[in-house]
C-alpha cells in the first residue's frame, strides 16, 4: 500500500501559493496606505496646534482689558486660595492662621460678649498679687492656712464653683513625720466640708471645689499624677472635691493658644486613666452635664499601656468626640481648638477691678487675695456669691505668667478665658470651603472694578480701603460669634498682581513711546 504522501501527490490538488502571495501583497499595501494617512493627519494636527496659540492670542486680545485683568485676577486669587486649602496642615499655613487670629483677638481685646443670653455665670479672680505675696512674707509656696481661708470665704458666700489653681501636691516641710499644722487644717476643713455636704438635702448650697492635678512628667513617658496629702479626701469626695488638669498646648513661640481638654495618665500602680481639664469640668458643671458621662466618653483616650513609652489608645484617634451637647474636634492644631481670649490682663491696676460685657454686665472681678482673706473689701466678698471663683497667683516669683495672644497673662486668667470660651463659643468654626471660594470671587470682582474704574494709584488706595473698611468689620462681626473668616491672603496676592501688572504695562508703554521718538528722529 502506498503512503498517504503518495496519495496526496496523485490527487493533483490546486496550487494556492499565487493567491496567498496576492493576499499578502494587498495587506501590506493597505497597511502602508493607512500609516501614510495617519502620518498626514498627525502633521496636519500638529500644524493646527502650532497655530492655536496665535489664534487664541488674537481672540484674547480682542477681549476688553477689564475682563482680561479680571480673569487673571481670579486665576491668581483662586489659585492662592486653593494652595491654602489643600495645604491646610502645612506648618506655614497654620502659623499664618495663628498670626491672623492673634491679631483679630488683639482687636477684640476687652470686648466681652454678654453672659446672660447663654446663662454663663460671672467670674471672680482671687489674685495672689505681688502686694499680697509681700504681705504674706514672700513664702516659698502658698501657705495652706491662708489657702483654706480663701476657699472658706468663697464657700461661705455660696460661689457657683471654686477653682484652686495652686499646686497642693507638695506638703509643707516639717521635721517630723506628721503633717504641718496648716496642711492638717486644710485637710480637716475639706473633710468636714464633704461630710456636711453629704448630709444636706439641698446640694446647691455646696459648690464644687476643683483642685489642679500636678504630674510627674518625663520625656516620652506617660504622665504620672503626683500623690499629695489631699489625695485620699479628694479621690473619694466627688462631686464636691475633684481633680482636673491645667495643661495647655504651647506653640513653638511659647504662646498659649489652644486648650488641652483632657490628659491621659497612668497611676503609680500602672492603672490607665484620663483626667479632664478644668475648663471641661467647669463647662460640665454649668451645663448640668454629669461628670460620669464625661469620664465614660474619655475612656477611649486612655493610654494603650502604662509600661514604657507613651502610645495613644487609638491610631488614628476619632476626629470628633461628643459629650452632652458639646462636639469637640480632636485635631490639636485645628482652628477650633483655639481659646477665644477676650479678658486681658490689666497690669498695674488697683484692685478690685471689674470688667464689663458689651451689655454692661459684670463679667470679671479681680480682687486681691489679701482683701478676701481679711474681709477688708466688702465689695469683693459680696461678689463671690454665684460667681465662678478661681484662686491663683500673678506674683512674679510664682512663675505662673505665660504668653498669650493678649500679651502676658497669669495662668489663672488663662483658665478663666478658656472656661468662658468653651461656655460661650464651645469652639471656633471656620467658614465652609464653598463660602471661602464664593466670597473670594465676590471680593476679587469688587477689587477689579475699583482698579478699572479709577486710575492705578486710586485703584490701589480704594481696594486697600475696601479690604480695611469692609472686610475687617465683617471678619470682626463673624469672629464675635466664633466664626473664623480668613481670605485676606488671596486678595493681597491679587492686589500685588495688579500692581505688578500695571507696572509692567507702564514699562511697555514707555518703551513704545521711546521707539516712536527714536523713529521720528
Strands (E), 121-166: 123-128, 161-164
> Residue 442 has which C-alpha cell?
465676590
3-state SS string over 320-339? Answer: EEEECCEEEECCCCCHHHEC
Predicted confidence at residue 321, as pLDDT, reads: 81
Residue-wise DSSP of 343-357: ----TT-PSSEEEEB
Q: Which three cell numbers stand for residue 220?
A: 516620652
**How many helical (H) and strand (E) elements, i.e. helices and strands, does the chain have?**
17, 19
pLDDT at residue 140 is higher than 50: yes
Kindly indicate the confidence band of residue 129, based on its pLDDT and cuts at 50, 70 and 90: very high
Q: Which residues contact residue 229 at a Cβ distance below 8 angstroms, ignoring those fewer than 6 apart?
A: 168, 171, 179, 183, 187
Mean pLDDT, residues 357-365: 91
Q: Centre a 10 Å sphere on the Cβ of residue 299 and count the other Cβ atoms it contains.
A: 11
Residues 6+ apart with CB under 8 A from 175: none
Report pLDDT for 55: 57
Residue 311: predicted pLDDT: 56
Q: Beta strands 362-368 and 353-356: pairing type? A: antiparallel
CA–centroid distance for 323 within its chain: 19
**Using an 8 Å Cβ cutoff, are 284 and 291 in contact?**
yes
Straight-line distance from the first to the last Cα atom of the chain, in angstroms, rounded to the nearest whole number? 113
State the burial class of residue 383 (Cβ atoms within 10 Å of its Cβ: 0-12, 13-18, 19+): buried
In angstroms, the Cα distances linking 259 to 196, 237, 288, 415, 421 are 35, 26, 21, 9, 10
Decide: helix, strand or coil at residue 253. Answer: coil
pLDDT of residue 96: 72
Q: With beta carbons less than 8 A apart as the criterion, state whether 439 and 487 touch.
A: yes
Residue scoring higher pLDDT (48 or 211): 211
Please give the average per-residue pLDDT across 9-19, as a whole number.
Answer: 50
pTM for the complete prediction?
0.75
Q: Are strands 401-404 and 483-484 parallel, antiparallel or unpaired?
A: unpaired
pLDDT value for 394: 92
Cα 299 from Cα 294, distance rounded (Å) = 9
Rounded to an integer, the average pLDDT of 189-216 is 89
Pick the more confident residue, 38 or 160. Answer: 160
- The model's pLDDT over 205-239, given as tens digits with 9 standing for 90+, comes to 899 999 999 998 777 678 889 888 999 899 888 88
- CA torsion through residues 142, 144, 145, 150, sign: positive
Q: Is the pLDDT of residue 19 over 60?
A: no
Residue 20 has a pLDDT of 55
Amino acid at each position: 500500500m502506498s503512503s498517504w504522501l503518495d496519495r496526496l501527490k496523485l490527487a493533483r490538488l490546486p496550487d494556492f501559493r499565487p493567491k496567498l502571495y496576492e493576499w499578502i501583497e494587498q495587506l501590506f499595501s493597505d497597511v502602508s496606505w493607512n500609516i501614510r494617512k495617519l502620518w498626514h493627519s498627525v502633521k496636519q494636527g500638529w500644524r493646527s496646534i502650532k497655530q492655536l496659540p496665535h489664534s487664541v492670542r488674537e481672540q484674547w486680545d480682542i477681549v476688553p482689558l477689564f475682563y482680561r485683568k479680571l480673569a487673571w485676577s481670579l486665576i491668581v486669587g483662586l489659585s492662592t486660595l486653593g494652595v491654602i486649602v489643600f495645604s491646610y496642615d502645612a506648618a506655614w499655613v497654620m502659623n499664618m492662621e495663628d498670626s491672623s487670629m492673634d491679631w483679630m483677638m488683639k482687636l477684640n481685646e476687652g470686648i466681652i460678649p454678654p453672659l446672660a443670653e447663654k446663662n454663663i455665670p460671672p467670674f471672680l479672680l482671687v489674685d495672689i498679687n505681688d502686694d499680697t505675696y509681700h504681705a504674706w512674707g514672700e513664702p516659698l509656696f502658698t501657705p495652706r492656712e491662708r489657702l483654706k481661708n480663701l476657699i472658706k470665704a468663697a464657700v461661705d458666700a455660696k460661689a457657683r464653683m471654686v477653682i484652686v489653681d495652686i499646686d497642693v501636691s507638695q506638703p509643707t516641710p516639717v521635721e517630723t513625720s506628721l503633717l504641718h499644722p496648716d496642711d492638717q487644717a486644710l485637710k480637716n476643713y475639706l473633710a468636714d466640708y464633704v461630710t456636711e455636704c453629704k448630709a444636706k438635702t439641698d446640694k446647691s448650697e455646696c459648690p464644687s471645689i476643683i483642685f489642679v492635678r500636678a504630674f510627674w512628667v518625663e520625656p516620652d513617658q506617660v504622665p504620672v499624677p503626683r500623690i499629695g496629702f489631699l489625695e485620699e479626701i479628694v479621690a473619694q469626695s466627688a462631686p464636691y472635691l475633684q481633680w482636673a488638669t491645667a495643661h495647655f498646648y504651647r506653640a513653638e513661640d511659647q504662646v498659649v493658644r489652644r486648650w488641652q481638654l483632657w490628659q491621659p495618665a497612668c497611676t503609680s500602680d500602672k492603672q490607665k486613666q484620663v483626667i479632664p481639664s478644668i475648663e471641661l469640668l467647669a463647662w460640665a458643671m454649668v451645663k448640668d452635664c454629669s461628670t460620669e458621662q464625661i469620664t465614660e466618653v474619655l475612656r477611649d483616650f486612655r493610654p494603650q499601656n502604662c509600661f514604657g513609652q507613651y502610645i495613644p489608645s487609638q491610631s488614628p484617634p476619632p476626629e470628633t468626640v461628643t459629650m452632652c451637647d458639646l462636639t469637640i474636634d480632636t485635631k490639636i492644631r485645628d482652628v477650633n481648638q483655639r481659646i477665644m481670649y477676650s479678658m486681658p490682663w490689666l497690669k498695674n491696676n488697683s484692685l478690685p477691678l471689674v470688667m464689663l460685657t458689651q451689655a454692661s454686665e459684670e463679667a470679671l472681678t479681680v480682687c486681691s487675695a489679701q482683701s478676701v482673706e481679711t474681709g477688708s473689701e466688702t465689695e469683693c466678698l459680696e461678689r463671690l456669691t454665684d460667681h465662678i471663683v478661681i484662686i491663683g497667683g500673678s506674683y512674679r516669683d510664682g512663675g505662673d505668667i505665660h504668653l498669650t495672644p493678649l500679651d502676658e497673662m497669669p495662668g489663672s486668667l488663662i483658665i478663666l478665658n478658656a472656661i468662658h470660651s468653651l461656655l460661650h463659643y464651645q469652639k471656633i468654626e471656620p467658614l465652609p470651603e464653598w463660602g471661602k471660594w464664593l466670597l473670594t470671587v465676590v471680593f476679587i470682582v469688587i477689587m477689579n472694578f475699583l482698579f478699572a474704574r479709577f486710575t492705578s494709584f486710586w485703584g490701589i488706595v480704594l481696594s486697600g480701603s475696601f479690604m480695611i473698611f469692609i472686610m475687617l468689620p465683617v471678619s470682626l462681626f463673624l469672629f464675635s460669634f466664633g466664626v473664623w473668616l480668613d481670605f485676606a491672603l488671596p486678595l493681597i496676592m491679587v492686589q500685588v498682581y495688579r500692581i505688578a501688572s500695571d507696572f509692567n504695562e507702564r514699562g511697555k508703554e514707555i518703551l513704545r513711546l521711546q521707539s516712536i521718538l527714536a523713529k521720528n528722529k
